[in-house]
Amino acid sequence: MEIILLLFTFVLAAFLGFELISKVPSQLHTPLMSGSNAISGITIVGALIATGQMNNDFSKWLGFAALVLATINVVGGYFVTDRMLSMFKAKKDK
Amino acid sequence: MQDNLINVAYIFAAILFIMGIKMLGSASTAVRGNRISSLGMLIAIIVTLLRSGLDYRFITLGLVIGGLVGLIAAKRVQMTGMPELVALFNGFGGLASLLVGWSEFEKSAEADWFLYFVVFIALLIGGITFSGSIIAYLKLSGKIGGNAVVFPLQKLINLLVMTGAILAGFLLVFNVGENSSLLVWLLIGLALLIGVLGVIPIGGGDMPVVIALLNSFSGLGAAAAGFVIMNTVLVVAGCLVGASGLILSIIMCKAMNRSLINVLFGGFGSGDTASGSEVEGEMKALSVEDSYYVLEAAQNVVFVPGYGMAVAQAQHVVKELSEILEKNGAEVRHAVHPVAGRMPGHMNVLLAEADVPYDQLCEMEEVNSIMPTVDVAIIIGANDVVNPAAIEDESSPIFGMPIVNAHQAKSVFVLKRGQGAGYSGIVNTLFFRENCRMIYGDAKATISSMVAQFDN
């Protein structure tokens, strides 16, 4: 049952994603991409759980590698997007 | 009870992601949108850390290492290096999803077919995203050649590798238990191979589509990892990114009047594509000194930047020249073609870095409507996006692609290093026109000396 609910959520989220972004001005294409790229770093949640295991198994080490990579993706992605967008913004205030 | 609280917080995080993506789509709200979505991420991370029985030592270590690397990379990167960095981050996200799926696979003592199925999907998508992004990174940063790589039997080999991966997946799902570790290694290897094989035949000019598509894949990878660990926030956020990335890829394809399939499997830009009809006439060169007299008298100037501007790092001198022209009484615009450069929106990022005023950045349609009244169109390292063959020559491979109609301007200056064709290998008929003059040399040096001419 849980699986079906999750699939249901997946399908709804897909439709929502398509509806959210219809016409994006081209100057926002890069920030949209890098910003959503940072969101895809949500896999960090899975990595945290895997790294937090109380053992020293192979599984934990895989989780640790995932955690480092996902954190780079999240932190780097948000900061670089913010940097880009603030460039756009600074210009508009003039 | 604790689980319920965590799930409520995840719903809240998902709402913030949805609002964030929505707001990223509009200029006035984009900064806030990105911050709102980062707040969602922070909430998701914090509530995950509140779960009981976690080993925090390695978590802290991982967060610190990853955080520092990410922060330094984000602060240091030059705006011209943005496409590579986005590709690299993307690849890391994909690999992380692969590893999360693998880790869960190793951990699970008793497995059911559904778990193995979603592990298979996570490994496949995560692996393709990772190796594909790394190849894109290498191409964009110039560490390997940017041209399309094609070889005999390529499609057959790709098909075989893909079939192999799907077979390995089936074996994994239907033979739960025996020897599955070996299958997982095989599957990862094949997924990585698919990513490499998938991106090498794609030429530099098609990179915006690939980057957007890989972005979509990294989201789907996260969603697949979400199914592996049965976590809603991963599924929702991953799926949103998957959908938005796909839309961006489609926007890019439309801007080239090609289908996604054609971009991915066309091998466009390998040099052996047909080059359309023969052109008559010759290219006429012009010196910087002579260009000055034309520019000095111009009332209406349009810059059309392309990848060449990024390579020459010419955005700052472009801004300088456009200021001088404005002071001289001319109206200045920058026409940005949707697929100019190597990633979606590439030119906008560069011009924004150089502080070019927002209202001077124009989309293609906007500029085309006034093009006949433009005195000078200055093409800086752009090629296919201004090739009139796209609207005039039905035999041209790019026929039907919307272009910036620079050829309608009274004079056209093309800043270009040499006489060669663009990445696609298509002859640009614009260069042979009566109103077109070629100014050879490095774009940055050329524009600098134009600026110097005005200063004298």
Q: What is the ipTM of this complex?
A: 0.93
Per-residue tens of pLDDT for chain B, all 456 residues: 577 888 899 999 999 999 999 998 888 888 999 999 999 999 999 999 988 778 889 999 999 999 999 999 999 888 878 888 999 999 999 999 999 999 998 887 676 888 889 999 999 999 999 999 999 999 888 788 767 777 778 888 989 999 999 999 988 888 766 668 888 999 999 999 999 999 988 877 788 888 999 999 999 999 999 999 999 999 999 999 999 899 888 888 888 877 888 777 765 655 444 445 566 677 888 888 888 888 888 899 999 998 888 888 888 999 999 999 999 888 999 998 888 888 888 888 888 888 888 788 888 888 899 999 999 999 998 888 888 888 888 877 778 888 899 899 998 999 888 766 655 667 788 888 888 888 888 888 889 988 888 887
By residue range, what is the domain housing residue A41? 23-93
Q: C-alpha distances in angstroms, B124 versus B92, B224, B456?
A: 15, 10, 62
Residue of chain B with shortest Cα separation from A24: B25
The dihedral formed by the CA atoms of B434, B436, B439 and B443, expressed in degrees to the nearest 10:
-170
Q: Across-strand partners of A15?
A: none
Across the interface, do A80 and B77 touch by the CB < 8 Å criterion? yes
Chain A hits for B38, Cβ within 8 Å: 38, 78, 82
The structure tokens listed for A70 are 């996902």
User: Hey, how many other C-beta atoms are within 10 angstroms of the C-beta on B289?
Assistant: 10
Domain total of chain A: 1
Q: Judge whether A75 lies within some domain.
A: yes
- Report chain A residues whose CB lies below 8 A from the CB of B356: 91
Catalytically active residues of B, by annotation: 384
Tokens of B25: 């789509």
Other Cβ atoms less than 10 A from the Cβ of B277: the count is 14
Nearest to A28 among B30, B107, B225 (CB): B30
Identify the H or E element spanning B271.
none
Task: Name the β-bridge partners of B413.
Answer: B378, B437
Q: Locate B306 and state its tokens.
A: 């392309």
Angle, helices B207-228/A2-20, rounded to nearest 10 degrees: 160
Distance between CA atoms of residues B390 and B333, nearest Å: 23
Residues paired with residue B302 on neighbouring β-strands, in sequence order: B333, B377
Residues of A in contact with B63 (CB under 8 A): 67, 71
A84 falls within a domain: yes
Query: Angle, nearest 10°, between helix axes B30-49 and B2-24?
Result: 160
Number of residues written out for chain B: 456
- The residue behind tokens 């964009």 is B140
In this structure, are residues A30 and A84 in contact, taking their beta carbons and an 8 Å threshold? yes
pTM, 2 dp: 0.87
Question: Do the chains contact at B70 and A71, CB–CB below 8 Å?
Answer: yes
**Alpha-carbon A49 to chain mean position:** 17
B453 in A contact zone (CB under 8 Å): no
- Beta partners for residue B300, in sequence order: B331
* A17 lies in some domain: no
Give chain A positions within 8 Å (CB) of B59: 48, 51-52, 67
Answer yes or no: is A15 within a domain.
no
Give the minimum alpha-carbon distance from A1 to chain B in angstroms, rounded to a whole number.
12
Q: Give CA–CA dist B292/B303, Å, rounded.
A: 15
Closest by Cβ to A63, choosing from B103, B215, B218: B103
DSSP B259: -
Cβ A66 vs Cβ A45: under 8 Å = no
**C-alpha span between A43 and B48 (Å, rounded):** 12
Q: Specify the residue for token string 């690849």.
A: B91
